[in-house]
Chains A and B, each alone.
Chain A
Amino acid sequence: MYRYDEFDQAFVEERCRQFRDQVERRLKGDISEDQFKPLRLQNGLYLQLHAYMLRVAVPYGVLSARQLRKLGEIARRFDRGFGHFTTRQNIQFNWIKLEEAPDILDELARVGMHAIQTSGNCIRNTTTDPFAGVAIDEIEDPRVWAEIIRQWSTIHPEFLFLPRKFKIAITGAAEDRAAIAFHDIGIRIVMGKEGRSEFSIYVGGGQGRTPVVASLIRPFLKKEQLLSYLEAILRVYNLHGRRDNLYKSRIKILVKALGIEEFKRQVDEEWEKLDKPSIDLPIEEYERIAAYFEPVNLQAAPIQNEQVTAREKADPAFAAFKRNNVFAHRVPGHVSVAIALKEPGKIPGDASADQMDAVAELAERFGHDEIRVTYSQNLVLPNIALSDLVAVYDGLVAAGLCSANFELISDIIACPGLDYCNLANARAIPIAQDIAKRFGEQKKAEDIGPLRFNISGCINACGHHHSGNIGILGVDKKGTEHYQITLGGSPGDDASIGSILGPSFPAEDLPEAIETIVAIYLEKRENPKESFLATYRRIGKEPFKDALYNPNALNSGGQSDALEEV
């Protein structure tokens, strides 16, 4: 993974000093809260319902053991012993004191971390495939370019006061595990015409009140031209994106208003005029950065391991873990292990300081010092020898991190909701806890199969409910918390936006409604291999609607399907 050199280190230390000074000026009253706000936001400091929240950048979700230990230490010293991993592959601390924020940043700087641009109307942390560099379906490791984008976008002086926040995702694999279609810019590494890899660039995707699947703006872009092309897109957006209405200010609205063709024309015109050599990355720099991402030197080993096989036979919990949380690795005899931070009943994405230490230790002992944070608020140990799998599993059991529900229905993505967020309409965490418990039984959950379940506490959609196979949105109905259900969203290659099922439910009726939806799926699927999403796409939403809102019609042979389809 990337390691800070002297330059990066000096930069981040300078930044810490600058922030300390800004906090002092705020505490002295030299600058107002209004003027301080964009400064603190650009350092990841948010004001929430009860306290400040600090969002620390985990660039493209990659952590070393030392860094994860530091996050644990911060959770202990400055928070209440927990950290919360987010869908942006970052980590949040929810109980921070303003006066202590500069000290936290100093601590982070010691391990090459910071909170720069994790908030505010600027370019945010670039996200990528949590299995980058180890996945068997990978064309090329996207982390190299994610790091290049990180450096290019860091305090880019032109793009710190954009109309709105700006998110970039990149994937280098055949299967998109980074939800690139739901980003302001999505980048996909593809095989180009001459057998060289190139980039396909997508633009204008997003969640929020107006969910949009990104449009292809450029099918093939030479990799060495990436930065100037990004700069052209950002400039057109910075100059022409709407600034009069918060809800219309994302790039997706500009792309929609202009149409992708006209937007592309403006970007190309701007790109033509840019002084590309002064923007694009010099080849020496590319090589310097790429060298950090050389694959870990792993020796191929047998793909069967006696100890693993024996344990699978003897221990059903281990067998379930292996079925659901262990993934193929490009080097035979190795695996990637997903750690679900979704123990039913816990807060999705939360990890205690002790758990962070435990994972750090496993990464050091067995995992070549690497940990990934996933888009789905989980962790991954990407490089584990099959012969160490039992030891790793036992370590996870001891840390209370052995939920075998990765990508199952109880692996819920949820935003903080009303428990922390001052924009929320409704609570998200207790709903997630309740649903995860209902579907906590392993056999039942596995029978249901892969199911992306997302919850957002309000229309800002931080829990990405639009892209959940089942999505839940908290709404305010005459002052009480209600929940709207959407079905059929998907974050991956076949990206789609979920469709609203009907009127919302009060919290107490929601779990029942979810049970009904799942029951309909189990009843209607063609065979156990047909996933929830596939079944939904085949039969549409009517059977689910009928079961929820019109249970009597169900008994009359589902005629309402035909009636309502007109």
Chain B
Amino acid sequence: MSEYYRGGFLEDTWVYINDDAPVPETGNVIVSLTRWRAGGACFSDLQGQVGVFVEPDDVFHEHTDRLSKLSLVSLSFPKFSDGRGYSQARMLREQLGFEGEIRGRGEILLDQIPLMMRCGIDAFEVCHEPTIAALKSEALPGIMHTYQSPVNDRFGRLRRWRGQIQG
């Protein structure tokens, strides 16, 4: 993937590295959570940032996963109807204090993106052509009035029951 969506389409500098491939010396890499946990020298020599890709049934370990050392977490949405990533994102933001990029990958469709953003996901690998076209030509279809505090508000400890997303 050369482009991803984060407010607009940007060039993607991150590379996914499978568990059986070596970690390169330079560049931003996304590895599996297992590999990150195994850790070791391969990351200390890296000239670049590290991210992890996780599966919907992965659970973060607050004390041992060294999330503050990660710049990116990539959440999987194998099907748009699989909503586990929404919970994972909120837990990352609100309970684990993760402030790096959270991106969604998999079946990412136009109407889900605003919901994902409200859970703290801020970047999207979009493959679905009509979604790409829509994102390039018009504003997000989301709803500006929300009954729940968005995740960013929770960061700021700004209690707001009914809010309006700033457009």
Binding site for B on A (CB under 8 A): 7, 10-11, 14-15, 18, 21-22, 25, 30-31, 35, 38-39, 121, 151-152, 154-162, 235, 238-239, 243, 273-275, 277-279, 281-282, 285
Q: Which residue of B lies closest to A35 (CB)?
A: B109
- Find A161's partner among B80, B95, B114, B141 (CB 8 Å cutoff): B80
Chain B residues near A154 (CB-CB < 8 A) = 147
Chain B residues near A31 (CB-CB < 8 A) = 109, 130
Chain A residues near B148 (CB-CB < 8 A) = 152, 156-157, 279
Chain B residues near A156 (CB-CB < 8 A) = 147-148
Distance (whole angstroms) from the CB of A153 to the closest CB of chain B: 8
Bound form: Cα–Cα A235–B90 in Å: 10
Task: List 21 interface pairs A-B (beta carbons < 8 Å), by A numbering.
Answer: A10-B145, A14-B144, A31-B109, A121-B83, A151-B162, A154-B147, A155-B146, A159-B86, A161-B112, A235-B91, A238-B84, A238-B87, A243-B82, A275-B154, A277-B157, A278-B153, A278-B154, A278-B157, A279-B148, A282-B161, A285-B162
Residue B65 lies at the interface, judged by CB distance under 8 Å to chain A: no
Q: Which residue of A lies closest to B86 (CB)?
A: A158
Distance (whole angstroms) from the CB of B70 to the closest CB of chain A: 20
Please state if B145 and A14 are interface contacts (CB–CB under 8 Å): yes
Chain A residues near B136 (CB-CB < 8 A) = none
- Find B94's partner among A25, A152, A275, A282 (CB 8 Å cutoff): A275
Chain A residues near B88 (CB-CB < 8 A) = 239
Bound form: Cα–Cα A158–B149 in Å: 12
- Find B143's partner among A11, A30, A121, A158 (CB 8 Å cutoff): A11
Residue B111 lies at the interface, judged by CB distance under 8 Å to chain A: yes
Bound form: Cα–Cα A274–B151 in Å: 12
Cβ proximity bits B133-167 to A, threshold 8 Å, 1 near / 0 not: 01000000111111111000110010101100000
Chain A residues near B149 (CB-CB < 8 A) = 278-279
- Find A155's partner among B86, B147, B159 (CB 8 Å cutoff): B147
> What is the total number of residues of chain B having a CB less than 8 Å from a CB of chain A?
37
Distance (whole angstroms) from the CB of B153 to the closest CB of chain A: 7
Distance (whole angstroms) from the CB of A243 to the closest CB of chain B: 6
- Find B141's partner among A18, A157, A158, A239 (CB 8 Å cutoff): A18
Please state if A35 and B157 are interface contacts (CB–CB under 8 Å): no
Residue B119 lies at the interface, judged by CB distance under 8 Å to chain A: yes
Cβ proximity bits B82-118 to A, threshold 8 Å, 1 near / 0 not: 1110111011001100000000000001011011101
A158-B86, A158-B90, A277-B159 in contact; A15/B143 too (CB < 8 A)? yes
Bound form: Cα–Cα A158–B94 in Å: 13
Chain A residues near B91 (CB-CB < 8 A) = 235
A25-B130, A152-B147 in contact; A238/B154 too (CB < 8 A)? no
Binding site for A on B (CB under 8 A): 80-84, 86-88, 90-91, 94-95, 109, 111-112, 114-116, 118-119, 130, 134, 141-149, 153-154, 157, 159, 161-162
Bound form: Cα–Cα A151–B149 in Å: 12
Chain A contact residues: over half helix, strand or loop, or mixed?
helix
Bound form: Cα–Cα A39–B130 in Å: 15
Chain B residues near A235 (CB-CB < 8 A) = 87, 91
- Find A157's partner among B82, B119, B134, B162 (CB 8 Å cutoff): B119
A238-B87, A281-B161 in contact; A30/B130 too (CB < 8 A)? yes
Distance (whole angstroms) from the CB of A288 to the closest CB of chain B: 10
Chain B residues near A158 (CB-CB < 8 A) = 83, 86-87, 90, 119
Bound form: Cα–Cα A30–B130 in Å: 6
- Which 8 pairs from chain A and chain B are nearest by CB? A161-B83, A11-B145, A157-B118, A157-B115, A30-B130, A278-B154, A158-B86, A151-B147
Bound form: Cα–Cα A278–B151 in Å: 9
Bound form: Cα–Cα A10–B94 in Å: 28
Please state if A238 and B86 are interface contacts (CB–CB under 8 Å): yes
A275-B94, A278-B157 in contact; A239/B143 too (CB < 8 A)? no
Distance (whole angstroms) from the CB of B59 to the closest CB of chain A: 8
Please state if A22 and B81 are interface contacts (CB–CB under 8 Å): no
Please state if B86 and A14 are interface contacts (CB–CB under 8 Å): no
Chain B residues near A39 (CB-CB < 8 A) = 111
